Amino acid sequence: MILVVGGAGYIGSHTVKELVDSTEVVVLDNLSTGHCWAIDENAIFVKGDLGKEEDLEKVFSTYSIDAVIHFAANSLVGESVVDPWKYYENNVVATLTLLKVMMKHDVKNFIFSSTAAIYGIPEDTFLTEQSLTKPINPYGYSKLMVEQILEDFSQAYGLRYIVLRYFNAAGAHESTSIGESHDPETHLIPIILQHLLGKREKISVFGKDYDTPDGTCIRDYIHVTDLAHAHILSLNALLMGKKQMATYNLGNGTGYTIKEVIETCEIVTGRQATIEYVERRAGDPAQLIASSEKIYQELGWKAKIKLPAIIESAWNWHKRNN
């Protein structure tokens, strides 16, 4: 049985949907940012907190867990700058509690959601797993700290783990039953689509003086179902003993400026956006583009879905759910 911590969240719920086809899944989530409706009906749901040892004890003593996939975290760059305590408490301290209970119950397989934010301001155009890790916000630091903890736990306690460093997750499940839904919404693509649906007056673009071709930030967008598949492959690699520890970047390998993302949304939806340029958002690097060559070489994973199709899937979901 696989324990998915944070399985009611955006990337977690899409991964659970894929996982339930081949294995038994138990989801632990406190529903602080996730949604009950997003949890696949074939998964067992336990409401609880990964920072509370007693909640974890209940799960680990009730179910026979073979591996843990850990999605539960706060993940907003801007918020982490304003409220770093929240990020270190929920992302680092709570993960340590989870790992402690795992070690106690002799559960040694772990998949961890990390982020491109650990790279800070990139020195390389295409970030590889070897690129310098020097975060510029508490969110990135909180994830990098856990990566270090995992390395040390592996050496000391024999933990087997795979770290997946996501670039910008976007899109929705093809069934349109689940998609990206945050409250408040802060992510670029949902904000653009909500605007194009008439739910927001305009799109505020954070900064137009970055060192990029049109002055707006460049990001690498990756479909959430492509991400989900990377988790399944990683899990199988751990469970089959093919990997003991590994770190992989997950992106499409193509960067788009914010303006290009807005233009693509306009083309996909056939609607025109109203933009205002505002101050830069604290903690944002100018550019983040992945090289995902390593996971392709080692596990055969490659992102399949490109930006227009990512946006189309998100649009189909937003039209139905907004």
Smallest CA-to-CA distance from 249 within 117, 110, 95 is with 117
Q: Which residues are catalytic?
A: 139
Of 77 and 150, nearer to ligand UDP (C-beta) is 77
Q: Which residue bears the tokens 């390395």?
A: 151
3-state secondary structure of 29: strand
Of 204 and 236, nearer to ligand UDP (C-beta) is 204
Of 187 and 302, nearer to ligand UDP (C-beta) is 187
Of 35 and 187, nearer to ligand UDP (C-beta) is 187
Using CB under 6 A, which of the segments 12-20, 42-50, 66-74, 187-195 binds ligand UDP? 187-195
CA distance linking residue 206 with residue 201, whole number of Å:
16
Among 8, 59, 65, 77, binds ligand UDP (CB under 6 A): 77
Please list every residue from 87 through 116 that binds ligand UDP, using CB under 6 A.
Answer: none
Using CB under 6 A, which of the segments 39-47, 51-59, 90-98, 204-212 binds ligand UDP? 204-212
| 306 interacts with ligand UDP by CB under 6 A | no
Give residue number: closest CB to ligand UDP. Answer: 217
CA distance linking residue 319 with residue 264, whole number of Å:
17
Distances in whole angstroms, Cα of residue 230 to Cα of each of 12, 111, 225, 246, 310: 12, 11, 9, 13, 16
Q: Dig out the tokens for 43 from the structure.
A: 């998964």
3-state secondary structure of 80: helix
Among 17, 108, 165, 219, binds ligand UDP (CB under 6 A): 219
Among 15, 95, 168, 269, binds ligand UDP (CB under 6 A): 168
Distances in whole angstroms, Cα of residue 183 to Cα of each of 31, 33, 121, 190, 271: 12, 8, 28, 11, 24
| 205 interacts with ligand UDP by CB under 6 A | yes
- Strand pairing class (218-219; 256-257): antiparallel
Cβ 220 to ligand UDP shortest distance, Å: 9
Rule CB under 6 A: which residues touch ligand UDP?
Answer: 77, 168, 186-188, 191, 204-206, 217, 219, 258, 281, 284
